[in-house]
Structure 1
Amino acid sequence: MSMQGIHCLTPVALSLLPRAPEPPSCQRRHTLPASEFRCLTPQDATSAFEIEREAFISISGTCPLYLHEIQHFLTLCPELSLGWFQEGRLVAFIIGSLWDEERLTQEALTLHRPGGRTAHLHVLAVHRTFRQQGKGSVLLWRYLCHLGSQPTVRRAVLMCEDPLVPFYERFGFYRVGPCAVTVGPLTFTELQCSLQGQAAWRRSSC
């Protein structure tokens, strides 16, 4: 083998100079996003339940979902949830599951039916310190965009007490009548929203 193409390296002492500090604009920041939307995980269940418990039990004495039910749905269908986080803190969320009948029944409160084409919105809750700021509206709009990007989901359905009906009607939900589901003395109106033909528009709007 010819030695002409080989370059011999002569050992030299390496001097380790202290690295100059980066200017403030270049320094790495290890901060959480100021605001982000993402699907929830079972690890978010406790935070979600604390928000929900304060929002609902203080008013109606009951919760749409209890902790074990939140964990259940976030294990089976996390893609049907959406949380709003600010600097890593959950401030608002929606949890849903799939349903496969025309109207809600008592079973819809606890079941997730993977073959269903209907997203059942179980709960929308906002942390008490972030209410009256429009966050519920922003989150619901984002959630409907999220559902619209899932080709197997054709519509959304929910039940609520009468004073909340106008809020959901602003987002395209319409009344289908009294809900067959009751919780203790509470009765509800059932609302539905068609997602067909709106997926592309929502993707471009969100």
Structure 2
Amino acid sequence: MNIRHAVMGDLDVLAAIEAASYPKAEGASRESLRGRLEHFPNCFWLLEDDRGGVIAFINGMLTDKPDLTDDMYDHPELHDETGRRLMIFSVVTDPRFRGRGCASQLMERVIRDMRAQGREDIVLTCKERLLPFYSRFGFVSEGVSGSTHGDVTWYQMRLAL
């Protein structure tokens, strides 16, 4: 398995994995992913299988803002390369590869990279059932998020680095 950053040529497979992982109202559209790739490909971490196929990915943007807000999802121009924190948008694994530790392997890499870059923290939102998963990495729940993305209740979690 190999972890690398994304390039525009990955767009189709990323869009397919995202669509298979979230209900339409919650997942990023192909165009949203394209904008993110144009603005911050270095904030995409892709896990490849032994044949070089992408099987999971994490993406987000850098900012100095303290909380993940809904406008960040579709406005990649808000990315600030010097930002103190990473806002994670998606942690997704191709359904055929779930339950094998792919997301955990990626999350460990993202945390290592953000620490090495001297970032302050990592913020994400998740559904209640995923709170224990992210807690394993040291993320702490800050309660219900102000996000109304996809008309779902989200919990904001933060990992101080």
Q: Please list, as runs of the form range in 1=range in 2, the aligned pairs for 1:46-125 lying within 5 A after superposition.
A: 46-57=12-23, 61-86=24-49, 87-111=51-75, 112-114=78-80, 115-125=82-92
Q: Deviations over 1:104-128 (max 9, x none)?
A: 2222222333142110000011011
Counterpart residue type for residue 138 of structure 1: Q
Q: How many Å separate the matches in 2 of 1:69 and 1:178? A: 25
Q: Considering fraction of residues, name the structure with more strand.
A: 2
SS of structure 2 residue aligned to 1:147: helix
2:143 matched to which residue of 1?
A: 177
SS of structure 2 residue aligned to 1:158: strand
> Aligned match of 2:9 in 43, 67, 71?
43
TM-score w.r.t. the length of structure 2 is 0.90
1:29 matched to which residue of 2?
A: none
Q: How many Å separate the matches in 1 of 2:70 and 2:101? A: 31
> Aligned match of 2:101 in 134, 137, 140?
134
Q: Deviations over 1:14-62 (max 9, x none)?
A: xxxxxxxxxxxxxxxxxxxxx21100112111101101101112xxx43
Q: Is the 8 A contact 1:82 1:95 kept in 2?
A: yes
SS of structure 2 residue aligned to 1:159: strand
Q: Is the 8 A contact 1:174 1:193 kept in 2?
A: yes
SS of structure 2 residue aligned to 1:91: strand
Larger Rg: 1
Q: Considering fraction of residues, name the structure with more helix.
A: 2
2:123 matched to which residue of 1?
A: 157
Q: Is the 8 A contact 2:26 2:150 kept in 1?
A: no
Cα drift, residue 77 of structure 1: 1.1
Q: Is the 8 A contact 2:70 2:149 kept in 1?
A: no
Counterpart residue type for residue 16 of structure 2: E
Consecutive aligned runs of 4 or more in structure 1 exceeding 3 Å deviation: none
Counterpart residue type for residue 133 of structure 2: F
Aligned residues: 157
Q: How many Å separate the matches in 2 of 1:133 and 1:176? A: 28
